[in-house]
Amino acid sequence: MKTPREIILERHQSADAKLAGIREEDLAAAACQSRSGSSDESHGDFLVLRFWQEALWPYRRVWLGLAAVWFLLAAVKFSTTETRTAQYAAPQPNQAVLTALHDQRRLMDQLLEPSTPALATPPKRPGPRSERQLERDRKARVLQPQRGDMVMGAKQGRILS
């Protein structure tokens, strides 16, 4: 008696020869195509077709929805552009603001204009030491209280004369 494995193997042995023939045909077609040199164009077409089938076609509803949203946005933009320009006119300049800006610019020009430096006076040459001593003594006498001036005592808090 035959095992189930042997029965299935007998049925499919004829398919093995058919599969070998199909394989040979495919290899011969690929060899002819590579000799003709049109593999670059067909390869590019294949990539485009493959991209279409894998990236775009399964999500065609999503892509159509996005395209519809973009068309809707473009229609809204182009329909509202004309009404906006008709509604708004250029505003008239405010005279108070213009005069304030004019005054500010005038002040800035005055502040930033280059000024001529004042001529420096030559330094005063000191005289002999004896004269400098006399001047110092005169200044000290002026600052000292004279007899009869009212001066407050620091410790006693009474008036000294």
65-109 per-position pLDDT tens digit: 999 999 999 999 888 866 555 566 677 888 899 999 999 999 998
Please compute the mean of the pLDDT values over residues 145-159 and round it to a whole number. 54
Specify the higher pLDDT residue, 120 or 75.
75
Task: Return the exposure string of 3-24: e unless at least 16 CB atoms fall within 10 Å of the residue's CB, then b.
Answer: eeeeeeeeeeeeeeeeeeeeee
77 or 148, greater pLDDT: 77
Q: 17-31, 33-47, 51-65: which has the minimum mean pLDDT?
A: 33-47
Per-residue pLDDT at 150: 56
Distance CA 6, CA 4 (A): 5
This prediction has a pTM of 0.26
More confident residue, 151 or 63: 63
